[in-house]
Structure 1
Amino acid sequence: MQALTVKPGTAESLCLAEVPDPVPSSDELLVDGVSLGVCGTDREIASGHYGWPPPGRDRLVLGHESLGRVAQTVPGSGFEVGDLVAGVVRRPDPVPCGACARGEFDMCRNGRYAERGIKDLDGYGSEQWCVETGYATKVNSELTRVGMLMEPTTVVAKAWEQVYRVGERSWFDPRRVLVTGAGPIGLLAALLGVQRRLDVHVLDRVTDGPKPGLVESLGATYHHEPIEDVATRLCPDVIIEATGASQVVISAMSTTAHYGILCLTGVSPPGRTVHIDAGALNRDIVLENDAVVGSVNANLRHYRQAADALAAADIDWLEGLITRRVPLSRAIDAFEPRDGDVKVVIDIGSA
C-alpha cells in the first residue's frame, strides 16, 4: 500500500512510498484511511526540524489528524465494520509516570510517551492503518467530510478544560474570551467558546480571505488591530493564544481582566528576542491574580469532548475550515502553504 513517509531530521525527504500492508493484532482495528489533516507539526517534521522514527527504522509514516473507516473489527469492542473512527495520537510511557498511569498521558512527566506520526510510532498517513480499540474514537457518521478535525478539536477541548479547572480555584463566571489567531486551532477554540455561550472575539492580522467570514458566521466578532488595542478595549476574562507569536504572547499576559486566564496553545519558535518590562508584567499578574497556563495534546477524555463538540457544530461551518483538499497521489502539495489556506486535507480514500 501507499503511505506518506519522511526521514525525520532530513529536509526534503517527504515522499509517497510503498510499505507493507498492516496486520492487526488481536486488539486492533484494521481501518481504511479516509482523510488526513495537515498541520504545522507535520510541516516541521517534513522540513527536518522535528520527529522521531520508530526504533530501528529511519523513516516515519507521517500523519496524526486521522479519519478512517473500520474494515475489520474486534468482537466485543463496540466497533462495527463501516464505523468512522479517529485514532488517538499519544500513547503513555511504558514506565509509566504517575500521570500516564492514571490515563492523563497528555501530561506525561518524563517525556517517554510515544505519538503516532510524530514520535516513535507510525502515523495514520496510509491507505490502511491499525489502531488499538482503546485508542480509537467513533466519529459521527455525518462528519465524513470533516471528521479529520477531531484531533485539533481535542487540543482546544483540553485547553478549555484547563481554563475552567484553573478558573474554578475560586468563583469563576467568565463572560468574554479573546482568541488570538484564526487558524484551525483558533477557530475551533472560538467554536467551543460559542458553544459555552461566551462573548467570543477572534484576532488575526488578515483582513480578507475566509477567516473573517468564518468568525462572523459563528456569531463571534473578528478583529485585526494590534492585540494591545483590542484586548485593552475588551478586557477579556479569558485569552486563548493560538499564534505562537512571541510579541502576541507577551502582550496577552498583561491584557486580561482581573483574575484573567491566558491559555497558551501556540508553540513559539526559539531564537526570537522580545523586549519587555518584566517587573510591570510580574506586578500585573500577581496583583490581579492572573494565571498563565500552557496546554498541549489530549487524552481520551478530550477525544470524547471533541466528538461531542463536532457533533453539535454546524457541518457547513466545519467544512468551511477546509480550504484545500488534495488526493493522496498529490499529498506533497498539501505541505506547500498557499494564501488563504486555513486547513489543508489529504483525501486518502472514499468516504
Structure 2
Amino acid sequence: MRALTVAPKQSGSLEVSEVPDPEPAADELLVDALALGVCGTDREIARGEYGWAPPQRDRLILGHESLGRVVRAPRDSDFESGDLVVGVVRRPDPVPCGACAHGEFDMCRNGRYTERGIKEIDGYGSQRWCVETDFAVRLDPRLEHVGMLMEPTTVVCKAWEQAQRVGERAWFEPERVLVTGAGPIGLLAALLAVQKGLDTHVLDRVVDGPKPGIVKALGATYHHDDVCEVAGKLQPDVVIEATGAGPVVFGAIENTGAYGIVCLTGVSPSGRTLRIDAGDVNREIVLENDAVVGSVNANLRHYHQAAAALAKADVDWLAGLITRRVPLDRATEAFTAHPTDVKVVIELDSGN
C-alpha cells in the first residue's frame, strides 16, 4: 500500500512510499483510511525540525489527524465493520508517570509518551492502518467528509475544559470570549464557544479570503484590528489564543476583563525578542485574579467531547473549513501553503 513517509530531521525527505500492509493485533481495528488533515506539526516534521521514527526504522509514516472506516474489528469490541472512526494520537509512557497512570496522558510528566505520526509510532497517513480499540473513537456517520477535523477539535475541547476548571476556582459565568487566530484551531474553538452560548469574537489579521465569512456563518463577530484595541474594548472573560504570536499573546493577557482567563494553544517560535512591561503584566494578573494557562494535546476524554461537539455542528459549516483537498499521489502539495488555506486535507481512499 502507499503511505506518506518522511525521514525525521531530514528536510526534503517527504514522499509517497510503498509500505507493507498492516496486520492488526488481537485488540486492534483494521481501518480503511479516508482522509488525513495536515497541520503545522506535520509541516514542521516535513521541514526536518523534529520527529522520531519507530525504533530500528529510518522513516516515519506521517499524519495524526485521521479519519477512516473499520474493515474488521475484534469480536468482543464495541466496533463493527463500517464504523467511521478516528485514532487517538498520543499513547501513555511505559513507566507510567502518575498522570499517564490515571489516563491523563496529555499531561505526561516525564516525556516518555509516544505519538502516532510524530514520535516513535507510525501515523495515519497510509491507505490502511490499525489502531487499538482502546484508542479509537467512533464518529457520527454524518461526518464522513469532515471527520478529520476531530483531532484539532480535541485540542480545543481540552483548552475549554482547562479554562472551565480554572474559572471554577470561584463563581464563574463567562459571557464573552475572544479567540485569537482564525486557523482551524481558532475556528473550532469559536465553534465550541458558540455551542456554549457565549458572545464569541474572533481576531485574525486577514481581511480577505474565507475566514471572515466562516466566522460570520458561525454567528460570531470577526475582527482584524490590533489585539489591544479589540480586547481592550471587549474585555473578554476568556481568551483562547491560537496564534503563538508574542504581541498577540501579551496583548490578550493585558486586556481581559477582571478574573480573566487566557488559554494558550499556539506555540511561539523561539529567537524573537519582544519588549514588554513585565511589572504591568504581573500587576494586572495579580490584582484582577487573572490566570494564564497553556494547553496542548488531548486525552481520550477530550476525543469523546470532540465527537459530541462535531455531531452537534452544522456539517456544511465544518466543510467550509476544508479549503483544499489533494489526492495521496500529490500529497506533498498539501505542504505548500496557499494564501486562502484554512484546512488542507489529503484524500487517502483508494478512489484517489
TM-score (norm 2): 0.99
Which residue of structure 1 lines up, in the alignment, with residue 60 of structure 2? 60
Gapped regions of structure 1 (runs ≥ 5): none
Shift of 1:251: 1.1
Gapped regions of structure 2 (runs ≥ 5): none
Distance in 2, matches of 1:52 and 1:167, equals: 37
The answer to whether the aligner puts 1:280 opposite 2:280 as a matched pair is yes
Which residue of structure 1 lines up, in the alignment, with residue 231 of structure 2? 231
Which residue of structure 2 lines up, in the alignment, with residue 314 of structure 1? 314
Distance in 1, matches of 2:63 and 2:140, equals: 21
The percent identity for this pair of structures is 71
Which residue of structure 2 lines up, in the alignment, with residue 190 of structure 1? 190
Q: Check 1:350–1:84 CA distance in 2 against 1; reply closer, same or farther (3 A cut).
A: farther
Which residue of structure 1 lines up, in the alignment, with residue 175 of structure 2? 175
Distance in 1, matches of 2:313 and 2:166, equals: 26
Shift of 1:250: 1.3
Shift of 1:265: 0.3
Matches within 5 A, 1:266-345: 266-345=266-345
Q: Could you give the per-residue CA deviations for residues 300-322 of structure 1, whole angstroms, max 9, x where no partner exists?
A: 00000000000000000000000
Q: Could you give the per-residue CA deviations for residues 243-291 of structure 1, whole angstroms, max 9, x where no partner exists?
A: 0111111111111101000000000011110000011110100001000
- Residue 127 of structure 2 contacts residue 350 of structure 2 at CA under 8 Å; is this kept in 1? no
Which residue of structure 2 lines up, in the alignment, with residue 204 of structure 1? 204
The answer to whether the aligner puts 1:43 opposite 2:43 as a matched pair is yes
Give the superposed CA RMSD.
Answer: 0.7
The 3-state SS of whatever aligns with 1:151 is helix
Equivalent AA in structure 1 for residue 290 of structure 2? D
Equivalent AA in structure 1 for residue 190 of structure 2? A
Structure 1 stretches of 4+ moved >6 Å? none
Which residue of structure 2 lines up, in the alignment, with residue 82 of structure 1? 82
Q: Could you give the per-residue CA deviations for residues 104-155 of structure 1, whole angstroms, max 9, x where no partner exists?
A: 0000000000000000100000000000000000011111100000000000
Shift of 1:350: 6.0
Which residue of structure 1 lines up, in the alignment, with residue 8 of structure 2? 8
Equivalent AA in structure 2 for residue 121 of structure 1? I
Matches within 5 A, 1:59-208: 59-208=59-208
Q: Identify the range of structure 1 (244-253 vs 7-16) with the bigger mean alpha-carbon deviation.
A: 244-253
The answer to whether the aligner puts 1:25 opposite 2:25 as a matched pair is yes
Equivalent AA in structure 2 for residue 301 of structure 1? R
Distance in 2, matches of 1:230 and 1:246, equals: 16
Distance in 2, matches of 1:183 and 1:16, equals: 26
